[in-house]
Structure 1
């Protein structure tokens, strides 16, 4: 009997343990589910990583889909070079040389800005101020050097005005911005005094803008068209009649020149006759005054 009772107790205890374990197992999913919900909610509410890190973690496809960020374009000013030159050429015939110069100018799309001719007893001079496109300047100078005559002097210079042009352009752009702001202020001005002050400022800005734009146009003109000062020179040859003058002729010329000088001097004195009349009057008055002082 005792042998049967002990195994039954052992079985009873084992069944009780298994039951408690089953209850623990059945109740554990509910607790773990709640904890899982809490963990899931915590994970959802967790802060997102920084932008830099998230961009690094994004795949290449997403990065390529975003539009590229291009830097703001900054306008650059090309170099501004002003070329000038001076040339003096001795020629045998001024008219023939002038025709040659005209042909060279047509070939290089140049033109004459000013022309001055001087005829003396010693030589003939034709001075030309020529404007030529910048790209044709060197070809023009070479053409004059080769086919017109003998070059007596030549001076070519280049002046880089890029810095000045850039400075004027920047100041001009800023002044235009200020001008628009002052015009907006003028529209919203409430008092007459403010309107007058703003209008005066606008007028000064407009004058400065006009000057700056004029300076830029002048620089562009000097850059686009170079300037060449060309002088055609012809020395006159003295004829035999004038080169072989004898002593007698020279003596007669000297006497004539002396007589002409004397006549000029005499006529100059005669032209002073009003002063010659005043002198005797002054002498008479002085003597009369002196005699009056000597009387007792």
Structure 2
């Protein structure tokens, strides 16, 4: 009887242990599923952050466009008027303008600045005015790296300047106040220098530059009498320069005359001695 009771107790214990393992296994599976469910949203959020970061990497390029064009035209006055009209239509302005008359032609040089997005259109319109294009050169300089660097340095130095301003409010000793003000002065000079460079870059980026040189060939008459007059003038100038050169060589001329005098005198004495003999 006692042995049967022991067997019954052992059977109950074994059965209870099996039930415990089954429940433990179910709980473990549920926990895994919950953990997997918890991890899934976090992975998606990481992917979203990654995609957001990659979209923020795209940077607008900062490019300075400038060029030169040299061409021949039929009428410089008409071409000048057309250029001013084109520049006005494109929202630009003329920076410099010069003219030069020479024998056989008239030449104009104009510096034009237009918005960056109108630069290619400007080049095309100006090229259409030419009878013959002698040269055309267009340059595009990428200054994105310098632009970002200057912008970051300005931001950093302004943050430091703000910290110095806070320290200046809390400073109580005279030497501390003087040191902080000196550092702030140096920092302000650096900031203004960087801001000047930034303004220069912004101006060159927003407005492109084109240097335009155009000329007209003019057939001039021969002008016989004017050329004779010019020839007489050139001959007189040449004579004056010849006299100036002779005067500058006076030591050599005197030395040459002395040598000739000595040689002639020696020959004369030699001839007299021969006659007496």
Q: Match for residue 107 of structure 1?
A: 89
Query: 69, 75, 83: which is aligned to 2:65?
Result: 83
Structure 1's unaligned 5+ residue stretches are 1-53, 268-296
Greater helix share, 1 or 2? 2
Structure 2 vs 1, CA of residues 103 and 57 (structure 1 numbering), >3 Å: closer, same or farther? same
Structure 2 vs 1, CA of residues 77 and 214 (structure 1 numbering), >3 Å: closer, same or farther? farther
Q: TM-score, normalised by structure 2?
A: 0.64
The answer as to whether partners of 1:77 and 1:166 remain within 8 angstroms in 2 is: no
Q: Which has the larger radius of gyration?
A: 1
Q: Match for residue 202 of structure 1?
A: 184
Shift of 1:250: 5.8
CA distance in 2, matches of 1:173, 1:144: 41
Q: TM-score, normalised by structure 1?
A: 0.60
Tell me the secondary structure at the aligned position of residue 60 of structure 2.
coil
Q: Match for residue 164 of structure 2?
A: 182
Q: Match for residue 74 of structure 2?
A: 92
CA distance in 1, matches of 2:163, 2:76: 61
Query: 196, 217, 234: which is aligned to 2:199?
Result: 217
Query: 111, 121, 124: which is aligned to 1:142?
Result: 124
Shift of 1:122: 3.4
CA RMSD, 1 decimal: 3.5
Residue correspondences, number: 209
The answer as to whether partners of 2:65 and 2:139 remain within 8 angstroms in 1 is: yes
In the alignment, structure 1 residue 168 sits paired with structure 2 residue 145: no
The answer as to whether partners of 2:168 and 2:180 remain within 8 angstroms in 1 is: yes
Structure 2 vs 1, CA of residues 180 and 56 (structure 1 numbering), >3 Å: closer, same or farther? farther
Which stretch shows the higher mean deviation, 187-196 or 231-240? 231-240
Q: Deviations over 1:10-55 (max 9, x none)?
A: xxxxxxxxxxxxxxxxxxxxxxxxxxxxxxxxxxxxxxxxxxxx99
Structure 2 vs 1, CA of residues 252 and 198 (structure 1 numbering), >3 Å: closer, same or farther? closer
Structure 2 vs 1, CA of residues 177 and 104 (structure 1 numbering), >3 Å: closer, same or farther? same
Tell me the secondary structure at the aligned position of residue 98 of structure 2.
strand
Q: Deviations over 1:36-92 (max 9, x none)?
A: xxxxxxxxxxxxxxxxxx99848979x99xxx8979986864110111100011112
CA distance in 2, matches of 1:192, 1:217: 37
CA distance in 2, matches of 1:207, 1:55: 63
Structure 2's unaligned 5+ residue stretches are 1-30, 245-277
